[in-house]
Amino acid sequence: MERTSVELFAGGGGLVQASTNAGFRHLLVSELAPRACETLEANGFEGYDEGTPSRVLAESTRTPLARGDVRRLDMRFLKEREVDLLAGGPPCQPFSLGGVAKGDEDERNMFPEMFRAVREIRPKAVICENVRGLLRKSFEPYFEYIKRELSLPFLQRADSTWTDHDHALRERIAADDTDPTMSYRVEAFPVNAADYGVPQIRNRVILVAFRSDLKVDWKLFRDEVEETHSEDELINAYHGDAYWRNRTVTVPDHVRADVLDRYPARLPTNAPRTRLPWRTLRDALEGLPEIDLKRLDKKTAQGGVADHVGWPGARIYKGHTPNELDRPAKTVKAGVHGVPGGESVMLLDKREKDPTAPGGFRYAHRYMTVRETARVMTFGDHWLLRGPRSERMRQLGNAVPVQLGEVFANAVRTTLDKAEVKP
C-alpha cells in the first residue's frame, strides 16, 4: 500500500531522498533557507511563498514546498489525509557541542514546531534526527522532557517553564488515561552513520515515535535498525584481497603497506562474519574522475560530472588533519572549507619526496569537491544542488545521510505494514 509523509526542516533533501527511496510519497515539505529551497525546487518540488493559504497547498499538482518560517505554516489541512510519517531534523544549534548549548532557551530550538505538527497532523509515526549533543549528561533532564513531550504532544506547554510542563507530563503519563490516538510511544536511538554503511563517521541521535493506538511491534522495529557494518570487519578486509582488488583505479603498493602497518588484524580469519566492513572514502568516490591538481580553478566540472570542481588552498596543520581514503570520512560539517578539524580536506594516493616528513615522503592533499562530499553523505548522483559552493556544502553538512535515513524510513514502513489499529 502507498505510504505518505510530511517533512519539516527539509534542508538540502537528505531525509527527503531517504523517505522517497523507502516508498513514501510526500504531501508537503517545509524549509526556511532560500538556497535549500532552490535545491528542493530543482528536484521537482513546487515552491510556495510563506503565507500561501492551505487550500492552495492542498490543491498543488506537485508536492508543495512551503518556503519560509515553519512557525507560520498551518498544517491542519493534512489531518484528513492519513499521514503515515512526519520526519525532520529540527535546527540543532541549541544542542551542538560546538554551539552555545543554551538548550531550550535558544530561540533556534524548533522542537516545539515538531510537536505542533504532530498535534495538527496526527501522523502514525515520527522520525526526528538531531546531534549527539542532546545525550550529554548536562542535557539529560531536558532530553527526557523532549521525549515525554513527544509522547503527549496534545498536553501543550503554555507560559510555564519547561520543568513545570515536565511535571504535568509526568503526572499524565502516570495516570495512563490519555486517548491513545493522541499519544505516542517514543524511543531514542544513538547511531553512528558508519555502522549503517555510510562512508562517514557521524554520530547522531534519532527519535522514533509511533501513535499509541497502533499495534506496533517494537522488537521488529529494533531488529530492522540493527547496525549492519563494523570497523573490525573493515580492518580485517584490509588484510585480504577483497578491499583492494577490482577497483577502477589501482591502489599503489605503498598506500596498502601504510594501511596494513597501522591497522593490525582484529579478528581471527575464521571468525564468524555478522556484519559488513565500514565503507571508506575510497569506496564512496569509486567511479568519480580524479581531480587534476593543475586545474583547481573553482569552475571546471572535471570529467563532466556536476559539482566535481577543484578548489585551491587546502592546508594541513595541527588540529586540522585531513580525511584518509581508506577510512570513513570525518563528519561533514556545514562549512565550505577551512572548518575546524580539516573535514573538507583529503589525502591522495600520490606522494612526493620530503626529507622533513616521516619516512621521507608526504602525501599530496586537496579540498574535497561538492560531488565527493555528496557521495560521503550518500546523496544520489541525480540529486541537484543549488547555490554557490559554500551554500551547497552547508546543505550537505546539515543533512541526514540518505542511507542512514533510509534504514529508519524502511523500518517505519515495515513496522506500519505489520501493525493494526487497536480495538
- The residues annotated with a catalytic role in the active site are 92
Q: Is residue 349 in some structural domain?
A: no
Q: Is residue 295 in some structural domain?
A: no
Q: Is residue 270 in some structural domain?
A: no
Per-residue model confidence as pLDDT tens for the chain (423 residues): 889 999 999 999 999 999 999 999 999 999 999 999 999 999 999 999 999 999 999 999 999 999 999 999 999 999 989 999 999 998 866 565 555 555 566 777 899 999 999 999 999 999 999 988 888 888 888 899 999 999 999 999 988 888 899 999 999 999 999 999 999 999 999 999 999 999 999 999 999 999 999 999 999 999 999 999 999 999 999 998 889 988 999 999 999 999 999 998 877 666 667 899 999 999 999 999 999 999 999 999 999 999 999 999 999 888 888 999 999 999 998 854 445 455 799 999 999 888 888 778 889 999 999 999 999 999 999 999 999 999 999 999 999 999 999 999 999 999 999 997 766
Domain holding 132: CATH number? Answer: 3.40.50.150
Please give the pLDDT value at position 352. Answer: 87
Please give the pLDDT value at position 77. Answer: 95
Domain that holds residue 197: 3-228+397-418
Q: Is residue 322 in some structural domain?
A: no
Q: Which residues of 7-46 are buried (b: 16+ CB within 10 A; e: fewer)?
A: bbbbbbbbbbbbbbebebebbbbbbbbebbbbbbbebebe
Q: Is residue 104 in some structural domain?
A: yes
Q: Is residue 80 in some structural domain?
A: yes
Please give the pLDDT value at position 102. Answer: 59
Please give the pLDDT value at position 341. Answer: 54
Q: Which three cell numbers stand for residue 97?
A: 557541542
Strand-pairing partners, residue 365, are: 347
Please give the pLDDT value at position 336. Answer: 46
Q: Determine the Cα–Cα distance for residues 254 and 393; give it in Å rounded to an integer.
A: 32
Evaluate whether 30 touches 9 at the Cβ level (below 8 Å): yes
Domain count, the chain: 1
Please give the pLDDT value at position 84. Answer: 97
Q: Determine the Cα–Cα distance for residues 249 and 99; give it in Å rounded to an integer.
A: 40
Q: Is residue 243 in some structural domain?
A: no
Please give the pLDDT value at position 266. Answer: 75
Q: Distance of alpha carbon 193 from its chain centroid, rounded?
A: 8
Q: Is residue 291 in some structural domain?
A: no
Please give the pLDDT value at position 99. Answer: 56
Please give the pLDDT value at position 366. Answer: 95
